[in-house]
Amino acid sequence: MTQAQTKSPNTKVVTGKIRMSYANLFEPRAIAEGQDKKYSLCVLIPKSDVETLRKIKAAVDAAKQAGASLWGGKIPSNLKTPLRDGDVDRADQEEYQGHYFLNASSKQKPGIVDRNVQPILDQSEVYSGCYGRVSLNFYPFNQAGNKGVGCGLQNVQKLEDGEPLGGRSRAEDDFDVVSDGGDDDFLG
């Protein structure tokens, strides 16, 4: 490891198992008209995953230290940080209960792989409600008077299916197998 590598802050985190919400991973979207289109994901982190939460807090602290020069040499006390408490900030949404959450985005498309690290090309395979892991990068910002630490989305690994969020059910759950043959006159 070079001296530069040992001195640079570690702001990258690969999470444990998380749940995906508001997954815009294949097509970028603008949050508001006139804004840049970005790929984005709301990451739901179980409160029981203390290791991932520890790594995120350390990465946010490293980004704060790196950002002090952007903020006049000091870390502001009212700094915006990405990690929020689902029990407090989204108390009315059941899927957020017992979780911390953060929003991550990127102008570049994230790499998206399955549990065997094979690329996922079928957009229907990765959706709000499925489970996976993500790699994130935390960075300081100072834009239009807003100071804080943002969260960049790097890569996504889908681990398993979950109940889709947003009220939509999966076709596999709605229908039974229909066998050929038998009574063709089903109205009859």
Q: Which domains does the chain have, with CATH numbers?
A: 3-163 (2.40.50.140)
> How confident is residue 7, by pLDDT bands cut at 50, 70 and 90?
very low
Q: State the average pLDDT for the chain.
A: 89
User: What's the pLDDT at 31?
Assistant: 83
Checking if the pLDDT of 122 tops 90, the result is yes
Closest to 103 (Cα-Cα) out of 77, 68, 129, 138: 138
Residue 156's nearest CA partner among 41, 38, 27 is 41
The full length of the chain comes to 188
* Residue 186 in this model has a pLDDT that exceeds 90: no
Average of per-residue pLDDT across 89-103 = 96
Contact indicator for 139, 63 with CB cutoff of 8 Å: yes
Q: What's the rounded Cα separation, in Å, for the pair 17 and 156?
A: 11
Mean pLDDT of 142-150: 91
Give the helix/strand (H/E) hosting 57.
Answer: helix 50-67
Q: pLDDT value at position 138?
A: 98
The position carrying tokens 């029981």 is 48
Mean pLDDT value of segment 27-49: 94
Sequence-separated contacts (24+) of 76-79 with Cβ below 8 Å: 76/147, 78/147, 79/147, 79/148, 79/149
Q: What is the pLDDT of residue 106?
A: 98
Confidence at 6, pLDDT banded by 50, 70, 90? very low
Distance CA 71, CA 132 (A): 35
Residue with tokens 């929020």: 84
Distance (Å, whole) CA 38 – CA 172: 31
pLDDT tens-digit map of 55-81? 999 999 999 999 998 898 999 988 999
CA distance 103 to 82: 7
CB contact at 8 A, 40 and 155: no
Q: Are strands 18-29 and 38-46 parallel, antiparallel or unpaired?
A: antiparallel
Query: Do the strands 84-85 and 99-106 form a parallel or antiparallel pair, or are they unpaired?
Result: antiparallel
pLDDT score for 3: 36
Amino acid in position 145: G
pLDDT by residue (tens digit) across 155-184? 999 999 999 987 666 677 778 888 776 555
Q: What is the mean pLDDT of residues 86-105?
A: 96
